Amino acid sequence: MTVARILMLSSWLLSVGFAMLALHTAEPTLVQTSHARTTYSGAVGSRIKKAPSKQPVRPETARDHFETGTGAPDPEKLLSQKVFVSYPLKGSVRKRAKQVSFIVLHSTETEKPADAKRIIRSWNNRGKNHPGTQYVVDRDGIIYQTANPRLVTIHVNIHRTRFGVDNHNSVGIETVRSGSQKYTEPQLRSLSRLTVYLRNYFGLTDKQIVTHGYIQPSTRTDPVNFDLNGFRRRCRSISQPHTNIAIDSPRGAQNTDS
């Protein structure tokens, strides 16, 4: 082999080496971003690995739990996540002497249409022992919390109730309605979620969800013009395991509630 041939061969080997090196750098390379997430870069046309597919979303926040009827987050958490809006009762809120055994559904039945805040203010203007429920569901679906549901408010007449329901063993939910007004879709949505949430929070069964008209029939018929079967279906669709909301139909139509 001549010197010239050796030189030619070695330069050819060198060029092959460079070509292989170039190919190697064109392979996809792993890049760590500042978020420590794995991304892939590479030359155009090179194979890019797919990022792993996302897991189905599981309830994580208190709001998620409220929306899906799972878990039982603290009411304070739900206030901080704006699921509830605080609009406190002044006075007439007491320490609870009994365990919560009932959720009582009401409708406000004001003489003229009113919103939740106005109704709560009117309660607050009625002296020391004024009426009020822990929750008021407004026409737009906003849920006002007037007192922590672990505390007692006055929403049933203990001299007229049956089945042992009183204010110390129950939590009340008012839904805002008047005259010929229909319950709104956002209202029914919020009411069903709130009811399922309170049932879970206090560890109750569906049979412990009652209407004011059912437990105080001598003087009350609310919630008035309320579609109980539709309400049961809504509650069921939020949480499947509980299928039997056993509340009796309130009778009659006229009602002035408080």
Where does this chain bind Zn ion (CB under 5 A)?
106, 212, 222, 257
SS (H, E, C) 176-193: CCCCCCCCCHHHHHHHHH
Among 220, 199, 201, CA closest to 211: 220
For residue 26, give the nearest of 14, 18, 38 by alpha carbon: 18
Cβ at position 214, least distance to Zn ion in Å: 11
Residue placing its CB nearer to Zn ion in the complex, 160 or 233: 160
Task: Find the shortest distance in angstroms from Cβ 65 to Zn ion.
Answer: 28
In whole angstroms, how close is the CB of 131 to Zn ion at the nearest point? Answer: 9
Q: How far is the CB of 96 from Zn ion (least distance, A)?
A: 19
Distance CA 167, CA 151 (A): 10
- The end-to-end CA distance of the chain, in Å, is 113
**Non-local CB neighbours of 112 within 8 Å, separated by 6+ positions:** 178, 179
In the bound state with Zn ion, the residue whose beta carbon lies nearer, of 68 and 101, is 101
CB of 54 to Zn ion, least distance (A): 46
Nearest one of 117, 120, 110, 134 to 257, comparing CA atoms: 110
Q: Which is nearer to Zn ion, 66 or 135 (CB)?
A: 135
Query: How many whole angstroms separate alpha carbon 28 and alpha carbon 31?
Result: 9
Peptide bond into 223 cis (omega under 30): yes
> At 68, is the secondary structure helix, strand, or coil?
helix
Toward Zn ion, which CB reaches closer, 68 or 122? Answer: 122
Shortest Cβ distance from residue 229 to Zn ion (Å)? Answer: 20
Number of H helices, E strands in the chain: 7, 8
